[in-house]
Structure 1
């Protein structure tokens, strides 16, 4: 099996309509994501299934866009190495089984296997944030206990813990968390990226080659970088960051709502200072000073060559504009935006 092998791609189709935000005073300024009308994808994976018949998680070493290749379809299309992993775990009361999954990325996720395939495609960089329908995805994912011996069902976990200690001759399993989403690196390790703390990046994050996620950085699913970026802050659902951009320590970006067909985008060569944040998109070469949080409804005094006389606007009106410096006047407390004459200096991804 070679997950990085060439994969078939679906034919381009027309984008679907975007549902606008209901309250612009509350929701961040966003741009529509590109959604095809129909986009098939496939995967052959290994599913962990509980004794109750609940699919806890699925790992897809074989996946791609388009229709499943004929060599993998049907009961005789199971790769031999995957078939060899079919087994039962009496302590966890789970079994491993091979699944063939064919989905439509334009339709909502149907079940756990469908949801995990979408998350894998994002983390393998086969699709970018916003290119798949994710509405209702969290509802089809079970809450698992993620341990050093694999996913366990939450129900009656203390009994499971006892069986695992007996099987381990008294050694307790390590519990990493109780959540719907696992760590990305337990399922996908994309090439040419650095992730200093695996717990801080969820499966379904999209990290472009050259990206560095520092120890305090966080990247949600359906979010991440589309160019080599340096992330020390929080990149939430529905947010993308472009190349040569720095998200400073404890900075954060308000994303779109779960399942929304919208993205908040941060352009190239931008800098969000430590403890800063935005709820609007930024064009290229923008800076937000340390400690300043700019939401869509923030009143900003704008000073540019096109508008030499200061005027007050809502920050959403500046969403996507390039070469702006956002700062808070230390004397008046007013949030100001200036046109920048030079590009910000961003640290290299050493």
Structure 2
């Protein structure tokens, strides 16, 4: 396209009105009609337009690069861990996300005063590097009771229900139909048909310097106020209130509930068909084969 110079690498290119018109025409030529329509509408925008081109999957070094990758996740074009997000915190400034849109923190006080002079109230919804996903992307077939608890960059699979206490961080999410009433931390991916109970937790990789990637398999149940610091395979259950860290001592039981051996939970990382529970008599954390199939309430998900 004349006027748009690209050196073949990762680049952010400012676009003027002529560039936008030429880009829209080129998109029409290549049958990208939806993108062409959006580009044509940007011609009359008062905001600056940029074209972000990524030739290689390097860590983001600019705000446009970071936002492009976060949008790819929330549009379900890539899954968590499929693109490089290393150093994304350094690329994104803290922003006041308000009822008037994003505002630089250095300009916030002035904007608040300006709103009051006009008889309006400027609502500061949050101060964060990441905006609310639904302010930018609303995936199809999902239900989100409290949208502020899902960050841009979350991958929310079709059929997922996220209740008021549910939370999904960026580069994390659900593969498909799931019930989320707990926290899906950064890097955690939840398999189809799993249920995260109210107030439960999954350890992420952002706090404490951890680098172990936690995942939840298909048809799993993490009970209310429980938590995991290891990956769960398919068809696993963690009893309500039990926080299972990698170093938790676990007593393995056979079919007769007799002790087999004592191990650390990390030795069961990623294994399927397990039930984790705490013995209410002696406090021991126990693990045995999970005989209970987890099935989500279809009525809660079929009309998303």
TM-score normalised per structure 1 = 0.73
* 2:82 paired with 1:131: yes
User: Where does 1:246-325 land on structure 2 (aligned, <5 Å)?
Assistant: 246-257=195-206, 263-304=213-254, 309-325=259-275
User: Equivalent residue for 1:197?
Assistant: 146
CA contact (8 A) 1:130 1:263 kept: no
* 2:96 paired with 1:148: no
Go from structure 1 to structure 2 and tell me whether the alpha carbon gap of 1:286 and 1:257 turns closer, same or farther (over 3 Å shift).
same
User: Equivalent residue for 1:3?
Assistant: none
Aligned with residue 161 of structure 1, among 101, 112, 121: 112
User: Where does 1:203-282 land on structure 2 (aligned, <5 Å)?
Assistant: 203-257=152-206, 263-282=213-232
Distance 1:332 1:69 in 2: 70
Q: Which segment is superposed worse, 103-112 or 198-207?
A: 103-112
Q: After superposition, what is the alpha-carbon deviation per residue over 1:56-99, rounded to whole angstroms, capped at 9, x for unaligned? A: xxxxxx9xxxxx99969xxx9982201212x2xxxxxxxx2111
Distance 1:291 1:344 in 2: 18
Distance 2:128 2:89 in 1: 10
Unaligned runs of 5+ in 1: 1-39, 47-61, 63-67, 88-95
Measured on the aligned residues, the alpha-carbon RMSD in Å equals 3.0
Distance 1:238 1:228 in 2: 19
User: Equivalent residue for 1:84?
Assistant: 44
Distance 2:253 2:29 in 1: 61
> 1:292 offset after TM fit, Å?
0.3
> 1:328 offset after TM fit, Å?
0.4
CA contact (8 A) 2:193 2:295 kept: no
Higher-helix-fraction structure: 2
1:263 aligned counterpart, secondary structure = coil
Go from structure 1 to structure 2 and tell me whether the alpha carbon gap of 1:105 and 1:143 turns closer, same or farther (over 3 Å shift).
farther
Distance 2:205 2:28 in 1: 35
> Which segments of structure 1 move beyond 4 Å, counting only runs of 4 or more?
40-46, 68-72, 258-262
Distance 1:141 1:122 in 2: 17
Unaligned runs of 5+ in 2: 1-8, 16-22
> How many residues are treated as equivalent by the alignment?
277
Distance 1:325 1:229 in 2: 19
Q: After superposition, what is the alpha-carbon deviation per residue over 1:301-325, rounded to whole angstroms, capped at 9, x for unaligned? A: 01246x9642111101101111111
CA contact (8 A) 2:251 2:259 kept: no
* 2:134 paired with 1:174: no
TM-score normalised per structure 2 = 0.83
Q: After superposition, what is the alpha-carbon deviation per residue over 1:155-178, rounded to whole angstroms, capped at 9, x for unaligned? A: 142112112333xx2112111011
Go from structure 1 to structure 2 and tell me whether the alpha carbon gap of 1:78 and 1:246 turns closer, same or farther (over 3 Å shift).
closer
Distance 1:297 1:45 in 2: 51
Distance 1:229 1:292 in 2: 21
User: Equivalent residue for 2:19?
Assistant: none
User: Where does 1:112-131 land on structure 2 (aligned, <5 Å)?
Assistant: 112-131=63-82
2:287 aligned counterpart, secondary structure = strand
CA contact (8 A) 1:292 1:328 kept: yes
